[in-house]
Structure 1
Amino acid sequence: MFQFDFDIILKTLPYLLKEGMAFTLTLTALAAFGGLVLGTLLALMRLSTLPGLALAATGYVNLMRSLPLVLVIFWFYFLVPYIGQAILRTERPVEVGAFASALITFTLFEAAYFSEIMRAGIQSVPKGQLSAGYALGLNYRQVMSYVVVPQALRNMLPVILTQTIVLFQDTSLVYVISITDFLGAASKVAQRDGRLIEMYLFAALVYFLISFLASLLVRRLQARTAIIR
């Protein structure tokens, strides 16, 4: 440890933040938003009285939650272009791109987990709220949009943010398709300059600090929402 080189961290910090962390945060934000929107739709489908919708949503959620994320990333990146070629009947595989593959994969995968969170949140809203909405002349879509879902989001916001922290950590798996996220950028510097200890310890420290501070904010938010309820 007496040969620990702090200069390599300082010299490569702009690259790590601009190329690596910027990508990681962008992917986390976009995938969390897309996963929450799709997860809410899946939750409404699972709670629907139509057996077909409920069965399809349940099958999708169970499938995604039963597969390793790294396998889903591999599957989408390598197989979907050929599936697109077969469907569109093109001469070459459809180009999806590494970023698009990662974004779609994380969105579809996280939607299964956000769906369960939203379903629990929707079920936590008293049924009297639905009856009151129907009494005001609102239809099912309006009751869900204006009455139930906003309350469910407030109830489940701490859990949603916790799942987003997990998503932030999982984005490091994009290294399997050679995307330069924060960990990938640190790994490139480590391999190039032969400073594995410095770069991997620094990457671990950054992930720890961001996740720990975010978890503290979630705890404070959870305490405030508990007081409101």
Structure 2
Amino acid sequence: MFGSFDLGVVVDSLPYLFLDGMRFTLTLTLLATLGGILFGALLAVMRLSRYRALSLFAGGYVNLLRSLPLVLVIFWFYFLMPYVMQWLTGASRPVRMDPFWSSMITFTLFEACYFCEIIRAGIQGLPQGQSQASLALGMTRRQSLFNVVLPQALRNMLPLMLTQTIVLFQDTSLVYILSITDFLGAAAKIAQRDGRLLEMYVFAALVYFVISLLASYAVRRLQARVAIIR
């Protein structure tokens, strides 16, 4: 099976794989992580809000998105949003969506659900005496949240956030349905062009495995360090 394995085709393709494919994958991972954390933090605050309408809305959004496969969300957002934008803007034809921004928005909206639950668990995991003491000192609820609760909860949330980022890095390969040249998409294009499916897919799997393994090791080290500080 591996007797005809041609390593040369992998070596020749490295610039394209990493300068184009991996750069897109890492860019999407970074932007979607930052956007997901910001939107997820907002959802978490809404879920913990005293106002029932906000809590129900955020809970419904999180539960709905988490019950859908990510590949389906990517597909429907890219192909349905042009018609939604046409209806909103009154255009004569569907508004074209840029594949990059479509995938970035989709991943942000989807990953925000998971970051929301991580942040909510981190906040609820703190003793209530922390917030009660800050309120007793004259702080408002907002000041208590941002100055007392969140800085302490971040220590509990950080390893889980990094773990979710690793999952997001792996999930970015799903953008192949939009014909975007991410790392896996670049490997697939070369495999089909040169007829070297075995070499390219084995190499792509190894790259994803090594990066995820190293990142997981870093998260474990961080988690152990945080546990000692605690």
Q: How far is 1:132 from its partner?
A: 2.2
Deviations 1:143-189 (A, max 9, x none): 11111112112111111111110000000000001101000000000
Report the AA paired with residue 65 of structure 1: R
1:227 is displaced (CA, Å) by: 0.7
Map of 1:97 onto structure 2: 98
List alignment gaps of at least 5 residues for structure 1. none
Partner residue, 2:52: 51
Cα distance in 1, alignment partners of residues 103 and 60 from structure 2: 22
Q: CA deviation at 1:141?
A: 1.6
**What is the CA deviation profile of residues 40-78 of structure 1, one whole-angstrom value per residue up to 9, with x for unaligned ones?**
110111111100000000000000000010110011100
Match of 1:42 in 2: 43
Structure-1 separation of matches of 2:197 and 2:220: 34
Taking only the aligned residue pairs, the percentage that are identical comes to 66
Shift of 1:87: 1.4
The structural deviation recorded for 1:135 is 2.4
Corresponding position of 2:29: 28
Alignment-derived partner of residue 183 in structure 1: 184
| Residue matched to 1:207 | 208
Aligned residue in 2 for 1:15: 16
**Larger deviation: 79-88 or 130-139?**
130-139
Higher mean displacement: 90-99 or 106-115: 90-99
- Provide the residue aligned with 2:195 in structure 1: 194
Following TM superposition, by how much is the alpha carbon of 1:84 offset from its aligned partner in structure 2, in angstroms?
1.1
Amino acid at match of 1:144: L
For residues 150 and 183 of structure 1, the distance between their equivalents in structure 2, rounded to whole angstroms, comes to: 37
| 2:214 paired with 1:217 | no
Q: Which residue of 1 aligns with 2:121?
A: 120
TM-score by length of 1: 0.98
Which amino acid in the other structure matches residue 155 of structure 1?
N
Which letter maps to 2:147?
Y
Q: How does 1:73-84 map to 2 (within 5 A)?
A: 73-84=74-85
Aligned pairs, number = 229
Measure how far apart 1:142 and its partner are: 1.6
Provide the rounded CA distance (Å) in 1 between the counterparts of 2:35 and 2:130: 27
Q: What residue in structure 2 maps to residue 154 of structure 1?
A: 155
Question: What's the secondary structure of 2:21's corresponding residue?
Answer: helix
CA–CA distance in structure 1, aligned partners of residues 197 and 164 of structure 2: 30
Specify the SS of the correspondent of 1:180: coil
Q: Aligned with 1:138: secondary structure? A: coil
